[in-house]
């Protein structure tokens, strides 16, 4: 009899754990969808301000195009065209977000007329000299981490994520603050192996655009160096009907200016 009760207790505990894991994954999927997948496609102008610890500032202006290939959380394509300043003008970054394998990423360098393939091992390196990483542009694959709800209050779900392959990344864990109303990712803290929060992402401003709650201001702070990158989004439009052929190597050298205006 004691063995029967013990088996039942283990079964109930396992069922509760699985149910909790499913609920947490549902929150994570909704958060990623709200932050990266709204509409069928999107266009936005981005002004990037890269500021070092002395307060010296560099700026970048770029236009981002994004197209979803499936409904809900799934494959996507990104095209990012740089227009200012002159040293990065006509540079293009393109990413194909994959769910079942590593993402594909390319960078076109017009001064060299060179298309550079960005290796998966470089996805967590600086995006064109900013404090954002290449992986931050399209988001991290949710299946690469184990997620746990560690806190909940009236405003946020706080999700802690631990990498399944810690050798492939520089962080030991990170936390996301998910807005309960919009499911937008409002804040993230990345912790290293020494337990230090070395990188902090924050949303600075949200607006409703075409019916979608949309981040129009954000920043990434390097807590170790004191530098940060502040981003302002403008001219945001959803559901433009962007054709998929824009997101190909051909258009790295020959931008589709019709869709970049």
* Cα four-point dihedral sign 71, 73, 79, 85: positive
pLDDT in tens, 127-157: 999 999 999 999 999 999 999 999 999 999 9
Report whether pLDDT(214) > 70.
Answer: yes
pLDDT band at 17 (very low <50, low <70, confident <90, very high): very low
- Say whether the peptide bond before residue 85 is cis (omega within 30 degrees of 0): yes
- C-alpha distances out from residue 19 to 9, 14, 72, Å: 15, 9, 21
With a CB cutoff of 8 Å and minimum separation 6, the contacts of 81 are 62, 63, 65, 90, 91, 92, 255, 260
- Please state the rounded mean pLDDT for residues 81-106: 94
Report the distance separating Cα 108 and Cα 76, nearest Å: 19
Confidence (pLDDT) at 248: 94
Across 74-99, average pLDDT: 95
Please provide the average confidence, as pLDDT, over all residues in the chain: 92
b/e 228-252 (16+ beta carbons within 10 angstroms → b): bbbbebeebebeeebeeebbeeebb
Binned at pLDDT 50, 70 and 90, residue 7 comes out as low
pLDDT at residue 11, as a whole number: 47
Look up residue 250 and give its two tokens: 């051909």
Q: So what's the pLDDT on residue 100?
A: 86
Report the pLDDT value the prediction gives residue 5, as an integer from 0 to 100: 46
CA distance 15 to 108: 50
Q: Spelled out in words, what is the top-level CATH class assigned to the domain 2-259?
A: mainly beta
Share above pLDDT 70 across residues of the chain, in percent, rounded to a whole number: 93
pLDDT of residue 256: 85
What mean pLDDT do residues 83-110 have?
Answer: 94
Give domain limits for the chain: 2-259
- What confidence tens digit (pLDDT) does each residue in 50-71 have? 999 999 999 999 999 999 998 8
């Amino acid at each position: 009899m004691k063995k029967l009760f013990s088996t039942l207790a283990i079964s109930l505990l396992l069922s509760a754990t699985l149910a909790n894991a499913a609920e947490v994954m549902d929150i994570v999927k909704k958060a990623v969808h709200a932050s990266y997948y709204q509409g069928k496609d999107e266009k936005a102008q981005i002004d990037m301000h890269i500021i070092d610890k002395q307060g010296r500032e560099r700026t970048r202006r770029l236009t981002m195009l994004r197209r979803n290939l499936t409904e809900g959380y799934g494959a996507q394509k990104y095209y990012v065209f740089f227009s200012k300043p002159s040293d990065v003008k006509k540079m293009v970054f393109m990413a194909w977000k994959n769910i079942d394998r590593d993402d594909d990423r390319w960078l076109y360098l017009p001064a060299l007329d060179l298309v550079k393939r960005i290796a998966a091992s470089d996805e967590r390196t600086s995006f064109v000299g900013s404090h954002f990483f290449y992986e931050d542009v399209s988001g991290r694959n949710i299946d690469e981490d184990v997620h746990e709800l560690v806190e909940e209050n009236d405003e946020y779900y706080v999700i802690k994520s631990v990498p399944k392959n810690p050798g492939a990344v520089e962080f030991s864990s990170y936390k996301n603050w998910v807005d309960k109303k919009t499911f937008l990712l409002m804040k993230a803290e990345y912790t290293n192996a020494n337990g230090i929060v070395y990188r902090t992402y924050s949303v600075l401003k949200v607006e409703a655009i075409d019916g979608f709650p949309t981040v129009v201001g954000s920043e990434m702070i390097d807590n170790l160096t004191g530098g940060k990158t502040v981003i302002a989004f403008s001219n945001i439009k959803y559901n433009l009907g962007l054709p998929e052929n824009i997101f190909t190597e051909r258009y790295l050298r020959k931008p589709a200016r019709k869709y970049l205006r």
